[in-house]
Structure 1
Amino acid sequence: MSYRLSEAARAAGHRLHVHESLGSTNTEAMERARAGETGPLWVVARRQEAGRGRRGNTWTSLPGNLAASLLWPVAGVEADRVATLGFVAGVSLAAAVADACGTVPGCDPGRGSRSIALKWPNDVLADGAKLAGILLEAEVLPGGRRAVVIGFGVNVAASPEGLAYPATSLSALGSGAGAEKVLEFLSGHVTEATRLWDGGRTFAGIRARWLARAAGLGSRIAVRTGGETLEGLFDTIDEGGRLVILAPDGTRRTVTAGEVHFGTAATAA
């Protein structure tokens, strides 16, 4: 099966470049931006040799998995709203995974089940195991033009072994959808979610969708940020997508970036 975008994405002007092999789809998309491309442009690689995740981590993309990046136009978007695109990506990816699961027993059919959840700020989990990740990268180009690339990595056919955390794949969940179908679902949901987002002017709707699938909401949480670890209850995310922790003394702490642990892992963090 060939990669293709959804009808809605194509109608909205999204374009697609497919490569047999790339070091990183994010790098390729950003290089396109430096060359003058504005997007929306999807870059997909059947093999990604040097994928990366947040905080300098490596993202391993096994054969049959999805490695895709979206160069998104941000002209006119307020600088402090750009980061909320990560949550647009999150709700879109969770919905695409739910579509890929269909009605397979044990795989989230997208009917209110929280077996597929969003972990702040950028992971998609299935029954607590990592299924997919998102990497948002921004750059100010010569002349002051800004470029934003959203990278999506989905364990479709297989999940890496030997990780410090549990991981799973759509195949392990019982889904027969391939990476090509996941991209089609994803591009459709991104098209709809970016319209709702409206250049960051209406984040409330995205925020509500994200919270409806939030992993650990209301539970014990620890966040490592720099040299500090904040502990308390996961209260919400605010209007900028920042994580809000209710501390034991009743105060609320806001976190912009950090490594999140829930439950007993929070106690050990």
Structure 2
Amino acid sequence: MTSKLLLIFVSASVGYVLGRTFDTTGVQGLLSTVITILVFTTILPSMMLLRLRATRLARKPLIASLIINFIYSPLYALLVLRLAQNYEMGIALTSSLLMPVPSMNPVYVLISGGDLELSVSLMAVNFLAGVVAFPVLLKAITGLHSIALDMHAVVRSLFVVVILPIAFGNLAGRFFNPDRERISRLTEFSLNLLVFTIFFSKARFVHPEYILSQIPLSLGFILSAILLAELLSKILGMSLREHLSYVFITAGKNNSSVIAILTLSLSPVYAVYVMVHQFTQIVTLFVYAKVRKGEKVI
């Protein structure tokens, strides 16, 4: 996991440095086309492999996860739009906070020693609810700040890159089993190319101070969501395994889906800020999982 994270970070760093060094103005059209292709080759396979089945649910973790994902997260998103240093950062981070369930949740649960079967069921409920609620919450929150977004484009992108692939994948899964390992490797390769291309293409539009100013906002949400989950788990009398079954699907968000949605409906520049949140999220949740397991972080 550490090596994969390092590779993504290197892809982003190299792309950003090259993008700040060379003028990409004349090839923005070409780069946008490449980014669109990479968005599909990255997100579609992972969505098609996603199996949403709630085989075993527990009432307390379910209630806690819904409270954090659909009450606390939108409230924090409202604050983000007020505090973000620029418009793109505000929209990008707000969108991330409204799409629950990180794709790496099973990894965090296994590292920490949580209940994976329960967590997978909680993932299914929260992700499906998140897909339905995403455009509604995004429109409501941006509307409160008098920000006009093309919600038709957002909903269309959500349908194309999330809903259709999941529906097709779950239907096709009844007739054949895809080679998950091979698809996973191809997705990782495509993801690194996507990260490099976006940072290379949009580096001149994203100043370093913007990125640095976002990290406290991202970290503030993740840590506060973890603390809220700890509090709710104690109040509701959950076991540690129950707590670890839902904490990562609330403090973590499905940034890959948000990158695809915003890239297709708005602009790839929004994806830069989503990726900054993604980096912050992966490191923070990885450390938390290790600490909860009682293992050394490094």
The normalised TM-score by structure 2 is 0.26
Higher relative contact order (CA 8 A, sep 6+): 2
The normalised TM-score by structure 1 is 0.28
